[in-house]
Structure 1
Amino acid sequence: SFWENWSLGIEFTPSRKSVLTDPAKLKKLQQSGEAFVQDDSCVNIVAQLPKCRECRLDSLRKDKEQQKDSPVFCRFFHFRRLQFNKHGVLRVEGFLTPNKYDSEAIGLWLPLTKNVVGTDLDTAKYILANIGDHFCQMVISEKEAMSTIEPHRQVAWKRAVKGVREMCDVCDTTIFNLHWVCPRCGFGVCVDCYRMKRKNCQQGAAYKTFSWLRCVKSQIHEPENLMPTQIIPGKALYDVGDIVHSVRAKWGIKANCPCSNRQFKLFSKPASKEDVKQTSFAGEKPSLGAVFQQNPLVLEPVPVAGEAASKPASSMKPACPASTSPLNWLADLTSGNVNKENKEKQPTMPILKNEIKCLPPLPPLSKSSTVLHTFNSTILTPVSNNNSGFLRNLLNSSTGKTENGLKNTPKILDDIFASLVQNKTSSDLSKRPQGLTIKPSILGFDTPHYWLCDNRLLCLQDPNNKSNWNVFRECWKQGQPVMVSGVHHKLNTDLWKPESFRKEFGNQEVDLVNCRTNEIITGATVGDFWDGFEDVPNRLKNEKEPMVLKLKDWPPGEDFRDMMPSRFDDLMANIPLPEYTRRDGKLNLASRLPNYFVRPDLGPKMYNAYGLITPEDRKYGTTNLHLDVSDAANVMVYVGIPKGQCDQEEEVLKTIQDGDSDELTIKRFIEGKEKPGALWHIYAAKDTEKIREFLKKVSEEQGQENPADHDPIHDQSWYLDRSLRKRLHQEYGVQGWAIVQFLGDVVFIPAGAPHQVHNLYSCIKVAEDFVSPEHVKHCFWLTQEFRYLSQTHTNHEDKLQVKNVIYHAVKDAVAMLKASESSFGKP
């Protein structure tokens, strides 16, 4: 797929002929000695010039005919500057600098001066209210990283190339803006990898976390020889940062960003050796200093739906009184002495403007470990209105150090919560969480719904109801899964039957997975799988026993739309909550990424598997516990009840009961005429670290190792059966949602929420991923986590490019608000 092969240049072709192929232009360049930008691959230029690593690999191919027909992604294309010397010899003159942009390059990164297609005013305000703070954190991190560059170093500019996703050669994370590049071979590393390498070099330690590729003639890439490089031209990033603050102040959109609490003006443009052309809205150059003076920003929780424009900026709450001590508040929290008033409301961590930097170090609550304070640490601090976010802010900004001089690990926070759990009595732990509280005005009579999981799971009954998204958003922003039923009545059922897949694709070779052993079976066909889908005796056998199989990665990669266009259209026309789930949905932030960029692969993806019916099968999962970097909507399009098995209904009922399902779910199965397909267990994203610690603990009890570059959740190596779920609840206070997905049900899983699936019968499920404004913070955390997985891990590569998604979503939101100012009488 393109995602895996982008670095080999599969999609890259220069759009115009090189100036070197035009005799008149070539002669002029030779006579004038004027520098020009490399506009072709290294392989097509003079052989004596140093080639980038991609072109060098391509030139070593044995099949020269293949080389001519195969395009190459050149790392120096539209980046390196060339020049003919007085002897007519072509040489490298340098690289583009940030001020050498044109209107096309800068236009990609600045807001339009007119309404933006695919959004509206209310949506723009909601998006900015939810992700504006995360955008500010991105800019702060870029600013701080830029401030570490030595004054004598010239920053280069590598313009975005259409259809190419810039990635770190070390950790495979998408590069957003600032990074370091080798001027000889084009090797590039992100800020985090660069800092880790420098720190290890300074300490004389072996750099074991990630391996660095070597340069020409196997020379080692030394950090000091790499060139600081930015992707966003000029100072567009800081211009947009200014505009965000200006627009939020004018529209009364609350801000919880830390910009006003820094020791320097974070959005003031960094000094440059050259005059930089300022490009912004016509006739306008916003001044952030004026914005701060007129509308001082304070730490305020991100507003919920409907609150974005409900209050003017002047109504923002003042900071907490100086008499309140964050440490005293922290002690009160850990001892449970939070007053009732704060329990009824969302307690707010009292942060004082000048107190953070002078707080004494917190005493270590557990054995300390050294974790490098990375470039993304500011970004990864969740901006939320709960205790956890403010506690993590406090701990990350404290002056506590380990003996090696590094910041204490964020696990201090988890120890605090663990101590809270240990202080709970058994009676407290046995109490079920309270149901959600949703405003009656939002849950109107025109939104058919009911509640499952002891009033903790919202189930919408009409998939086409126009009011669904308002109700959905109330639960979604709290990190809750949601279910929508009845979609199968809208779909073209003939398209989703097993026989239709067998007829169209039966001869394709695929890999199958034995759900009981996780063994991969090669050499099978799609037809082999569908033949046994509803016929147990006709299934492939292992030692004369029919196997419980699932199709592995079928259709492969991004082929669903191409292989099954009619099914794709049917799904997209009927999937619930189109505002979120469609590729062009106004609340799907991925839709804001310009076509210039490589679009994230968000599906659809099919999940086809047999059911696990026997009592012994209850310890196995069709899909083991894992989590995803994006939100997802999983649609049950077909449930097949196979022939050839006895007492299926009774065994399925026992599995549902064993799976901790609530009484209403069991009643739905017993009394209804619906087909149950799969049993889900979904956990809140905030409980991920507790689940991870629990699984490591169980793993150690069983004598297994826990390698540093592996993860019990990301590895998908665990299925939580009844006994493990009970231990997780008793020992860590973690309870999830037990959901039975019937035919036509759509389960919405929040980004970062650990979940597992156990098929009750044979199922065909289709999932569509999306990026919602409410859960962007989890995308940040997971992108950083994935960096540390092994190079062969399926989740190692950053495919979502969340920073690019956020940048362009914010850019479009402020464009919409700016365009609406005149019509709404805004100053």
Structure 2
Amino acid sequence: MITKSSNVEIHLQAGPCTSPPYNQFDMICNSCAEEQPCSFMGLRGFEISTIDGSLVYGPYFPETKKNDLLHSSRSLRFNGKPYSPGAKKYALNQIRSTLRKVLERQKDARSYYNNKAVQRDHTEGYRHLCDTCSTTIFNKHYVCASCAMEICIECYDDLQNMTEGIHTHPKSTNNKHARAEFVLFSKFAKKSISTLLKSTIPKAARSLMRKVKKENDPSAAAMVTTSHDTISTGKIIMLPISLDFILINHFIFKKQVINPSQQSSLSTSSLSHLFSGVKDEQRTSQDGQQFLKIEACNLNLDLFQQHWQTHRPIHVTNSTGNSEFEWTPAMFSTLCGTDTIQATDYDNSVFELNGKDYFDAFSDRKRRQRLCKKLGSSEVLKVKDWPQTQDLQNRLPGLYDDFMRTVPAPEYCSASGYLNLANRLPEEYLPPDLGPKMFISYGSDQHGKTGKTNLHCDITDAVNVMYYADDETARDKPKAASVWHIFPHDQIGQLQEYIRQYKDCDHLHPIFDHAFYLTEQDLVRLEAEFGVVPYTVYQNPGDAVFIPAGCAHQVLNCSNSIKCAFDFLSPENVESSLFISSELRKLHKQDALQVQTTLAFSWVSLKSD
């Protein structure tokens, strides 16, 4: 309550829109209309008469921000120490450019009335999503003053005149919104974002910027501007070059930065220096597509990072030698026999069955035939993302510890990995579920039918470790237990074009709906007509496959196999993750990773290490 005069007080809304005195106002939020928790509570304010409790004026949208989490978060889930003196600098340099892009975008957000953004408190235990596209809201966003519809910066920019959406405004036309109805909000103080942006400029660059700006004469300064306006000189229209941009980019990276939206890939020759110290048996070439294949005992962090920066997969063999468990069907039958599990068929039909039945039929041909006949399914069932209702750490802590103990490059793909940026969201934020999760698949059957994981693309990096495989139910012994086709991250556009041209997409997205598998015939045509060749990885027990974020991939499950996978966010691939986030936004699919928010807090966390 804020006192304004002896007869009028300003109240922050403390109850539903339908309760007195707020029901005197003839507009209610969507949530109240649907009998859900009110969206305007603690957000909207009114002038209320102290004499009769009537609404005098409103609504207001006063600032309610108490703590700026960029500088006062309760604690981080991650409290590890740098693994080497250069670890912090390495991580910061990898994410610097992408974070600057995110923060610069925040500066572009403008209110319809050109007033400043209203700050609001962060709501804990809640993933803040755009009501239109379902992307995660990082900082600035817009709220309809009438019905509390919340939209992101991009959706607001897409508004020319009106946008579709449920609207409770009594004078609205066809349930549509106009730009003028939206109020600009922020979750962080303007100063916090400016300070964060400034901190991304290397010290050497800041020093040089001060020197240049001090020495520049007025005429030179006029030619170097940070304005977004164009300069007209005669018939030539020039976009001014930002001095900050020139200096910053001079200092940021020595490595080559690859933009996934551009269709230009590194040539094999440009990668030759990476393999200069690698033995022949430690590299694999597939029609010019090279990637690292190496035994776990020969892999070190420097070599991993050297190759991971090229955004190519890495194949690590003999990675489970230190495992203390057998990871066999018999073990899972004992540990999880009473569980009810969901098994998916090749046509995405889902069947519920007893865990013991599934695992006892794993390597027994006759049992499997009887089980699948009873279910009415094929014989190539798979259990994915298991445990499906709880964390592996809680369900089977011994296996969780075994995975974390044996997984290669633990600095990246373990729960406490220093370079796993997904660890760095504060406790006030709802964390993404990154695993580890298990993939337990029946392989080929007697009729030659083989289980598949359709083509898809993840917003995170991932590592997939195979712990067990057998060919007891197969008609023929396969070349490998699993065959992976992993496509270069910068060729996703050609891949989508091919599928739209040769597959019946209808309303399906070529990649993000997990609807298609490219056959050998498809791969031959894809190379001939589009010049796209995947990395082909043959995975067997003990092998770990690292898949960079943004690389579309598919898997052929030739053998009965048990795998465990973990998702992570590496500094090297944040640009790809941000690109996939933008693609998901266009499809109204959630960005559970919260890439922009994670980037900002990762920077703050790393700087404080």
Do the two structures share a fold, i.e. TM-score over 0.5? yes
Find out whether 1:194 has 2:156 as its counterpart: yes
Shift in Å, 1:504: 3.3
2:216 aligned residue: none
Q: 8 Å contact 1:640–1:763 — kept in the other structure?
A: yes
Find out whether 1:608 has 2:440 as its counterpart: yes
| 1:809 alignment partner, SS class | helix
Shift in Å, 1:610: 0.9
1:780 aligned residue: 578
Change in 2 beyond 3 A, CA 1:304/1:740 = farther
Change in 2 beyond 3 A, CA 1:519/1:705 = closer
1:150 aligned residue: 113
Instruction: Identify the match of residue 528 of structure 1 among 352, 357, 365.
Output: 357
Find out whether 1:684 has 2:514 as its counterpart: no
Shift in Å, 1:55: 4.6
Shift in Å, 1:215: 2.7
Change in 2 beyond 3 A, CA 1:776/1:493 = same
Find out whether 1:482 has 2:448 as its counterpart: no
Find out whether 1:642 has 2:598 as its counterpart: no
Q: 8 Å contact 1:35–1:93 — kept in the other structure?
A: no
Change in 2 beyond 3 A, CA 1:251/1:491 = farther
Change in 2 beyond 3 A, CA 1:458/1:191 = same
Equivalent pairs, count: 569
- Cα distance in structure 2, aligned partners of 1:482 and 1:252: 39
Find out whether 1:437 has 2:272 as its counterpart: yes
Deviates more, 1:745-754 or 1:102-111: 102-111
- Cα distance in structure 2, aligned partners of 1:252 and 1:520: 62
2:146 aligned residue: 184
**Equivalent runs, 1:357-436 vs 2, <5 Å:** 385=257, 433=268, 436=271
Change in 2 beyond 3 A, CA 1:523/1:573 = closer
Contiguous gaps of at least 5 residues in structure 2: 210-221, 229-241
1:797 aligned residue: 590
Shift in Å, 1:491: 1.8
Q: 8 Å contact 1:111–1:811 — kept in the other structure?
A: no
Q: 8 Å contact 1:593–1:805 — kept in the other structure?
A: yes
Instruction: Identify the match of residue 192 of structure 2 among 225, 236, 241.
Output: 236
Q: 8 Å contact 2:441–2:451 — kept in the other structure?
A: no
Shift in Å, 1:157: 1.6
Q: 8 Å contact 1:302–1:385 — kept in the other structure?
A: no
- Cα distance in structure 2, aligned partners of 1:606 and 1:809: 28
Q: Alpha-carbon deviations, 1:168-213, whole Å to 9, x = none?
A: 01110001111110223321011222222x2254xxxxx6xxx423
Find out whether 1:808 has 2:606 as its counterpart: no
Q: Alpha-carbon deviations, 1:352-377, whole Å to 9, x = none?
A: xxxxxxxxxxxxxxxxxxxxxxxxxx
Shift in Å, 1:752: 0.8
| Counterpart residue type for residue 166 of structure 2 | L
Shift in Å, 1:573: 2.5
Instruction: Identify the match of residue 731 of structure 1 among 510, 514, 529.
Output: 529
Instruction: Identify the match of residue 170 of structure 1 among 109, 132, 137.
Output: 132
Change in 2 beyond 3 A, CA 1:77/1:105 = farther
Change in 2 beyond 3 A, CA 1:222/1:514 = same
Instruction: Identify the match of residue 295 of structure 2 among 461, 475, 480.
Output: 461
Shift in Å, 1:757: 0.7
Instruction: Identify the match of residue 714 of structure 1 among 512, 525, 532.
Output: 512
Q: 8 Å contact 1:482–1:748 — kept in the other structure?
A: yes
Find out whether 1:570 has 2:407 as its counterpart: no
**Equivalent runs, 1:657-668 vs 2, <5 Å:** none
Q: 8 Å contact 2:384–2:438 — kept in the other structure?
A: no
2:239 aligned residue: none
Shift in Å, 1:744: 1.2
Identity across aligned pairs (percent)?
Answer: 25
- Cα distance in structure 2, aligned partners of 1:173 and 1:237: 20
| Counterpart residue type for residue 498 of structure 1 | P
Q: 8 Å contact 1:434–1:456 — kept in the other structure?
A: no
Shift in Å, 1:490: 1.6
1:131 aligned residue: 95
Instruction: Identify the match of residue 54 of structure 1 among 31, 44, 56.
Output: 31
- Cα distance in structure 1, aligned partners of 2:462 and 2:415: 12
| 1:567 alignment partner, SS class | helix
- Cα distance in structure 1, aligned partners of 2:420 and 2:99: 16
Instruction: Identify the match of residue 122 of structure 2 among 128, 135, 160.
Output: 160
Q: 8 Å contact 2:93–2:253 — kept in the other structure?
A: yes
Q: 8 Å contact 2:421–2:571 — kept in the other structure?
A: yes
1:75 aligned residue: 39
Change in 2 beyond 3 A, CA 1:134/1:552 = closer
Change in 2 beyond 3 A, CA 1:523/1:30 = farther
Q: 8 Å contact 1:592–1:808 — kept in the other structure?
A: yes
Change in 2 beyond 3 A, CA 1:578/1:552 = closer
Q: 8 Å contact 1:460–1:484 — kept in the other structure?
A: yes
* TM-score normalised by length of structure 1: 0.62
| 1:510 alignment partner, SS class | strand
Shift in Å, 1:93: 5.4
Find out whether 1:96 has 2:96 as its counterpart: no
Q: Alpha-carbon deviations, 1:301-349, whole Å to 9, x = none?
A: 95357xxxxxxxxxxxxxxxxxxxxxxxxxxxxxxxxxxxxxxxxxxxx
Q: 8 Å contact 2:70–2:604 — kept in the other structure?
A: no
- Cα distance in structure 1, aligned partners of 2:432 and 2:204: 29
Find out whether 1:501 has 2:332 as its counterpart: yes
| 2:331 alignment partner, SS class | helix
Tell me the C-alpha RMSD between the 2 structures.
Answer: 3.9
Shift in Å, 1:43: 8.3
| Counterpart residue type for residue 532 of structure 1 | A
Q: 8 Å contact 1:79–1:157 — kept in the other structure?
A: no
| 1:48 alignment partner, SS class | helix
- Cα distance in structure 2, aligned partners of 1:243 and 1:155: 22
| 1:803 alignment partner, SS class | helix
- Cα distance in structure 1, aligned partners of 2:301 and 2:85: 17
| Counterpart residue type for residue 696 of structure 1 | R
Shift in Å, 1:507: 3.6
Q: 8 Å contact 1:129–1:302 — kept in the other structure?
A: yes
* TM-score normalised by length of structure 2: 0.82
**Equivalent runs, 1:505-524 vs 2, <5 Å:** 505-515=336-346, 518-524=347-353
Find out whether 1:697 has 2:501 as its counterpart: yes
| 1:199 alignment partner, SS class | coil
Q: 8 Å contact 1:105–1:233 — kept in the other structure?
A: no
2:179 aligned residue: 223
Change in 2 beyond 3 A, CA 1:773/1:32 = farther
| Counterpart residue type for residue 215 of structure 1 | T
Q: 8 Å contact 1:118–1:585 — kept in the other structure?
A: no
Choose between structure 1 and 2: higher strand proportion: 2
Q: With CA pairs under 8 Å and 6+ residues apart, which has the higher RCO, 1 or 2?
A: 2
| Counterpart residue type for residue 580 of structure 2 | L
Shift in Å, 1:736: 1.6
Shift in Å, 1:691: 1.3
- Cα distance in structure 1, aligned partners of 2:251 and 2:91: 15
Instruction: Identify the match of residue 752 of structure 1 among 530, 538, 550.
Output: 550
- Cα distance in structure 2, aligned partners of 1:34 and 1:106: 32
- Cα distance in structure 1, aligned partners of 2:453 and 2:306: 29
| Counterpart residue type for residue 85 of structure 1 | S
